[in-house]
Amino acid sequence: MSTPEDALDRAREALRAQRAAGRYPDPPAPDPPPSPADARRKLLEWAFIEPGAEVLRSTRRYGAPITAFKRLLYRALAQHLDVVVANQARFNLALLADLERIEARIEALEDERDP
């Protein structure tokens, strides 16, 4: 029997016994911070825009016809939308390439300063 105040101490004690018996693995290492490479990979993923008609839906109770109409409209406008999406993706990728160049330049300057 325990109270909320001593529950934590009892759990720690039980854990020591369980660990000694090999029933639990050692405590996990803390999560590593996201690396610059992870961040770049994410940016690259997001730079490509791939919209799809499946995200278009109606949240109304009997919204199926509205959903169908929205998707039809999307397909009818596809020719125009494709151009917009291609232009935006081109801009995103150009910006990302510039960012890469700036990062490389900063790294080079840092290396020069602190060889």
Partner 1 sequence: MIVHQLLSGAGPRDAITAEARAFRGRFAAWGWGGDDLAARIAPGLDGLFRSPAQLRVRDDDVLLIHHSAGLPGLDEILSAPGRKLLLHHNVTPAHWLWDHAPVVAAHCALGREQLPVLVRACDLAVGDSAFNAAELSALGAERTEVLPLLVDLAPLGPAGDPRVACAPAPHVLFVGRLSPHKRQDRVIEAFALYRDVRAPGARLTLVGEPLTDAYADSLRARAERLAPGAVRICSGLSPAQLGDVYRSADVFLCLSEHEGFCVPLLEAMTLGVPVIARAAGAVPEVAGKAAVIVAEEDPALISELLHLVVTDATLRETLIGRGRVRAAAFAPDPVAARLREVVLATVNGGG
How far is residue 39's CA from residue 103's CA, in Å, rounded to a whole number?
13
- Please state the closest distance from residue 112 (CB atom) to partner 1, in A: 30
Number of H helices, E strands in the chain: 4, 0
Least distance from partner 1 to the Cβ atom of residue 86, Å: 21
Which are the contacts of 108, defined by CB distance < 8 A and separation ≥ 6? Answer: none
Residue (8 or 44) nearer to partner 1, CB: 8
- Report if residue 7 touches partner 1, rule: CB under 8 A: yes
CA 33 to chain centre: 14
Contact residues: partner 1, CB under 8 A: 1-5, 7-8, 10-12, 14-15, 18-19, 23-25, 27-28, 30, 34, 38, 42, 46, 59-60
